[in-house]
């Protein structure tokens, strides 16, 4: 399985010190070339590629698809529309933290998940310990720009705390999207 990631998911994985572990999952990670060049290459892109990140070029029909998404959904960035076009055209899963991109992906019948899905895979595939996942999710959810659903964050923190003996601090992840955002 290959998953196409937007930049926000990779940033969150880095913030939670879970990026290295994520590249040990059974799925491969890919991004479109435009997203890589604009958003990742200047910020450790070469290291991501060494870890296994695939950078995929879009042909003319896929670029046209991405540009069509951009025209009809101005709130979705151009790199994100390229990520959706890559995922849709290959029947790959999309990983995103962007609510509008997620809605567009669902409309396009593209399987779409977020950072919590990745953390669940890290746990289920025994790639990271409960202690590591708890600490990582704490770091991600305590960031001021975190928009994860607090109920889902707390559920995982509690489960991983109980399994690892980690103490949990207060959550600062509060969002208007709490009730509508899926994992």
Task: Give just the sign of the alpha carbon dihedral 112, 151, 163, 9.
Answer: positive
Alpha carbon distances (Å) from 11 to 5, 15, 139: 10, 6, 12
Please report which confidence band the pLDDT of residue 40 belongs to, taking 50, 70 and 90 as the band edges: very high
Q: What is the pLDDT of residues 133-166, one digit of tens each?
A: 999 999 999 999 898 999 999 999 999 998 766 4
If DSSP codes are grouped into helix, strand and coil, which group holds residue 75? coil
Please report which confidence band the pLDDT of residue 169 belongs to, taking 50, 70 and 90 as the band edges: very low
Segment 25-38 shows an average pLDDT of 97
The DSSP symbol for 6 reads -
Structure tokens at 94: 């999309």
Residue 163 has what pLDDT?
75
Report whether 66 contacts 58 (CB < 8 A): yes
Q: What is the pLDDT of residues 96-136, one digit of tens each?
A: 999 999 999 999 999 999 999 999 999 999 999 999 999 99
Residue 178 has what pLDDT?
35
Domain map of the chain by residue range?
2-115
Provide the pairing of β-strand 93-95 with 112-113.
parallel
Element (H, E) at 152: helix 150-164
Please give the Cα distance from 173 to 92 (Å, whole number): 29
Structure tokens at 131: 């202690």
Q: What is the pLDDT of residues 78-90, one digit of tens each?
A: 999 999 999 999 9
The model carries a pTM of 0.87
Nearest to 5 by CA among 72, 75, 102, 100: 102
Please give the Cα distance from 126 to 48 (Å, whole number): 22
- Please tell me the CATH code under which domain 2-115 is placed: 3.40.50.1010
């Amino acid at each position: 399985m290959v998953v196409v990631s937007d930049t926000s998911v990779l940033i969150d994985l880095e913030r939670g010190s879970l990026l290295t572990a994520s590249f040990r999952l059974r799925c491969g990670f890919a991004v479109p070339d435009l997203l890589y060049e604009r958003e990742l290459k200047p910020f450790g892109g070469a290291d991501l590629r060494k870890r296994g990140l695939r950078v995929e070029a879009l042909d003319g029909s896929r670029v046209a698809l991405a540009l069509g998404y951009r025209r009809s959904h101005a709130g979705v960035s151009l790199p994100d529309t390229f990520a959706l076009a890559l995922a849709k055209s290959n029947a790959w899963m999309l990983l995103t933290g962007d609510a509008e991109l997620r809605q567009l992906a669902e409309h396009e019948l593209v399987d779409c998940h977020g950072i919590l899905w990745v953390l669940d895979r890290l746990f289920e595939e025994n790639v990271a310990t409960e202690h590591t996942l708890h600490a990582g999710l704490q770091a991600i959810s305590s960031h001021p720009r975190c928009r994860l659903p607090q109920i889902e964050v707390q559920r995982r923190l509690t489960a991983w705390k109980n399994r690892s003996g980690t103490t949990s601090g207060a959550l600062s992840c509060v969002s208007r999207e709490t009730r509508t955002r899926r994992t």
